[in-house]
A = this chain, B = another copy of it.
Amino acid sequence: MTLSSDNLIGGARIPGGGAPWRGVEAATGAALEPAFASATSEMVDQACRLAAEAFDSYREMALSARADFLERIAHNILDLGDDLVVRCMSETGLPRPRIEGERGRTVGQLRMFAEVVRAGAFLGARVDPAQPERKPLPRPDLRLRQVAVGPVVVFGASNFPLAFSVAGGDTASALAAGCPVIVKAHPAHPGTSALVGAAIADAVAACGLPAGTFALLFDSGLAVGQQLAADPRVAAIGFTGSRRGGTALMRIAAERAVPVPVYAEMSSINPVVLFPEALAARGAEIGRAFVASLTLGSGQFCTNPGLVLAVDGPGLDAFVEAAAAALPEVAAATMLTPGIHQAYCTGVAALTENAAVTVLARGKAGGTNQGQPILFGTTGAAFLADHALAEEVFGATSLVVRCRDEAELRAVLEGLEGQLTAALHMDAGDHGAARALLPLLERRVGRILVNGFGTGVEVGHAMVHGGPYPATSDGRTTSVGSLAIDRFLRPVSYQDLPDALLPDALKEANPLGLPRRVDGKPA
């Protein structure tokens, strides 16, 4: 596969304009070939126009054909072979097993959404049959289905170059819903983006879909993303990244003549609560597992365990001792970009200089662009007194908060902003204390997990990767798992429409064999 640095618009390769820029080898900072050029304003406009033109046709194609298209994308990504893996490793500094695993997840997501599309339950078909004899007024025939919202803009994420980037979860769920997608590639992995974008564009062509079904635009700055978010033809926005970036998009979307939903996954410190019995029984074991989760992928996960809470005592000492013993064995690892590395160093420095915070342990020092893991400690009182301690530092660092008692631990949790996950380490004797915290945690997080860490995000039907603001911009949704398709749908009701004019999903004979609710009941 030759790597083309062109934008992909309407099935054509279109070179960008302005000053050329290059991807960077994460480990060395060396520039990578080829040079990229950012999409011009005219190209953004063209991509939006083509997406709007493709919309009606794409959203009404047969479900089975749409599923085939998603599977074709998966097939084409695998067909890229090692070229994709090597380029992705180079641009991100992530090791081969991680990239191969992420590729598997990406392909798996596309195939899961193909299944979801074939099954058709996502259409939420409802039929309330006419009751012509009803008194005092006859009831009309009413039928409802979910339709795609319109063209969707997806911003590739730096920390998941495959699974949350060009053909990642946002793209897969939006395409599954019936929305054309315009991806703004993340400039931290332009080559990876170009390869995957070509795989999608090839699938669009092979499946005979409208040319505007997919576009890929490059930009080293902010202009393309801002123009996309403001374009009146764009109906929704998917984003995974920083809080600053996500809230900027929320502002643009709210100030449009027609506001649109923004699904931004932004920041989370993912509290880990260690309960006394679990600590007493296996504090050291938990400490070692914690270090493994903390330092996975250089800590560059949205679900990284950035905060550990426990009531002070010998069990917590055992946890801390084991973690502090394990961490110095962990090598520094290359971070995704120099900017992320710099932000990590700044965040770590601020904590190091904070008088209320102590350094519990450090990992091995690293070289260029490598993040040195570091574990901090503080008290519940100090944490409650300083809001800065609750801010996310993206990377392999965490803060252990020793709480005086259960009430203080609860107060720390009450004071937290919305989070993606909370992890509880507990044994049977901890159930009462855990039960008391569950209502609070349900209000604060999207996923509550037990005796594990949030860093493995299963792609399934019961997964929620989302949470109250600012974990995400819209806590009513998830960006991972089959429920993510709901973000890109809206209901339309048809009253007394002749059967011949009804969409197949709602025809009386149910030719698609869909699960439907009739008078509110499954039928």
Contact = CB atoms under 8 A, between A and B. Distances in A.
Interface in A452-471: 452, 456, 458, 460-464, 466, 468-470
A288 interface: no
Contacts of A470: 258
A489 B476 contact: yes
A149 interface: yes
A12 interface: no
- Which applies to chain A's interface (DSSP): helix, strand, loop or mixed? mixed
B450 A464 contact: no
A137 interface: yes
Contacts of A517: 461
A448 B493 contact: yes
Contacts of A466: 491
A463 B144 contact: yes
Contacts of A498: 431, 450
A119 B522 CA distance: 11
Given A115-B520, A449-B495, A495-B452, A250 B254 contact: yes
B448 A492 contact: yes
A41 interface: no
Contact of A462 (B142, B259, B464, B475): B142
B259 A250 contact: yes
A220 to B, nearest CB: 29
Interface in A488-523: 489-498, 500-501, 515, 517, 519-522
Identify the 7 closest CB pairs spanning chains A and B, nearest first: A449-B495, A464-B493, A142-B462, A461-B520, A144-B462, A126-B462, A56-B439
18 contacts: A56-B439, A115-B520, A121-B522, A128-B462, A137-B456, A139-B460, A140-B452, A144-B461, A150-B443, A438-B501, A446-B490, A447-B494, A448-B493, A448-B495, A450-B496, A450-B501, A463-B493, A464-B493
Given A258-B469, A447-B492, 15 more contacts: A60-B439, A261-B474, A431-B500, A434-B501, A438-B501, A447-B494, A449-B497, A452-B496, A464-B491, A464-B493, A466-B491, A475-B490, A476-B489, A478-B493, A482-B520
